[in-house]
């Protein structure tokens, strides 16, 4: 990632330049440094969030403060994912330990 020298926001590729997502400033794209950059352009939500039926929740922490809408069980495995911006709380994804019903909780 490259950050703007003017405002500190993240910059994104814009042709031959890097463009600031905050203030719109641009700077030349340094192709030598790009091998070190981490990018999420090719990721899909499926890569980031365990959303498939085959996702392995077993062995994850167990929440006892929830109730499954499918069977009424009060225990579920859960994972935390940051699905919004960093200043928002994470989303909890649950899978019932009894029936396997899946749901999410936004804080």
Q: Give CATH for domain 45-106.
A: 2.20.25.10
Express each pLDDT in 13-50 by its tens digit: 888 888 988 898 988 877 666 666 666 666 555 545 55
The yes-or-no verdict on residue 71 having pLDDT over 70 is yes
Beta bridge partners of 2: 11
* 66 alpha carbon, distance to own chain's centre: 22
Catalytic center residues: 87-88
* Start-to-end C-alpha separation, the chain: 28
pTM over 0.75: no
Domain residue spans of the chain: 2-36, 45-106
pLDDT of residue 68: 92
pLDDT of residue 73: 93
């Amino acid at each position: 990632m490259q950050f703007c020298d003017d405002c500190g926001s993240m910059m994104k590729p814009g042709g031959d330049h890097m463009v600031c997502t905050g203030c719109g400033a641009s700077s030349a794209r340094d192709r030598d440094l790009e091998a070190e950059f981490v990018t999420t352009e090719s990721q899909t939500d499926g890569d980031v969030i365990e959303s498939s039926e085959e996702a392995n929740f077993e062995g994850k922490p167990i929440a006892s403060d929830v109730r499954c809408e499918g069977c009424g069980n009060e225990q579920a495995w859960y994972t935390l994912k940051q699905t919004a911006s960093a200043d928002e709380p994470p989303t909890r994804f649950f899978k019932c330990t009894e029936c396997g019903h899946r749901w999410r909780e936004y804080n």
